[in-house]
Amino acid sequence: MPKDNIERAIAKGTGEGDEADAIETVLYEGYGPGGVAVLVEALTDNRNRTGADVRHAFSKHGGSLGEPGSVAYLFEKKGTIAIDAASYSEDELMGAVEAGAEDISTDEDVFEVITQLGDFAAVRGALERADVEIQSAELAFRPKSLVPIDESQTVRLMKLIEALDELDDVDEVYANFDAPAEVLERIAG
């Protein structure tokens, strides 16, 4: 094998040179069981391969891949900061509101601080300056409204989400479903 071919292959594999594959973010949109909107965020160097994998997962698990824009309008990208609710009171999080947080909600043992994209860094900084320990902080798509689904639809939807999560190129999966907590626990357990 010629030396040039070997060097080109090494450069491509390490991300150097003219032939390096560019990694891009791609958003796939579709519907899952029960009419649930599903948004799939993927990082890929090959749109065709990833698109085929995502389409296969949707069709195998009772969903359908949609056109661009078919469900994205049902989601909004927001900043989400999670804080241990056992360690802090809501009063200790007021600095976040003053820095621009939209909402602070409690979900079991976690405070969720929601921000607009532009306020995310300021709110996170305000919490850090107040010595509030942050469990996680991310920018994520949040559903504008939720679709209630029954137990059988929930089981099928969870299989779809799991199949999508297992794909190598898929980074995040978002869905706008509302299932009873006891059903989700039973499925997970």
- Decide if pLDDT at 161 tops 70: yes
Residue 89 — very low, low, confident or very high, per pLDDT cuts 50/70/90? confident
The percentage of the chain sitting over the pLDDT mark of 70, rounded to a whole number, equals 88
What is the pLDDT, as a whole number, of residue 2? 64
What digits encode the pLDDT tens for the residues 131-150? Answer: 999 999 999 999 999 999 99
**Mean pLDDT within 123-136:** 93
Please report the domains of the chain, with CATH numbers, ordered by start residue.
9-73+145-188 (3.30.70.980), 74-143 (3.30.70.980)
Rounded to the nearest integer, the mean pLDDT of the chain is 89
Residue 21 — very low, low, confident or very high, per pLDDT cuts 50/70/90? low
- Decide if pLDDT at 109 tops 80: yes
Helix (H, G, I), strand (E, B) or coil at 22: coil
Length of the chain counted residue by residue: 189
CA dihedral over 63, 64, 67, 70, signed as positive or negative: negative
What is the pLDDT, as a whole number, of residue 67? 93
The rounded distance, in Å, linking the Cα atoms of 141 and 77 is 4
**Mean pLDDT within 128-132:** 92
Contacts 24+ apart (CB under 8 A), 63-68: 63/30, 63/31, 63/32, 63/33, 63/38, 63/160, 64/30, 64/31, 65/28, 65/29, 65/30, 66/29, 66/30, 66/31, 67/29, 68/27, 68/29
Helices (H), 68-146: 94-98, 120-129
Are the C-beta atoms of 72 and 27 separated by less than 8 Å?
Answer: yes
pTM: 0.81
Residue 18 — very low, low, confident or very high, per pLDDT cuts 50/70/90? low
Q: Residue 157 has which token pair? A: 């939807």
Residue 6 — very low, low, confident or very high, per pLDDT cuts 50/70/90? low
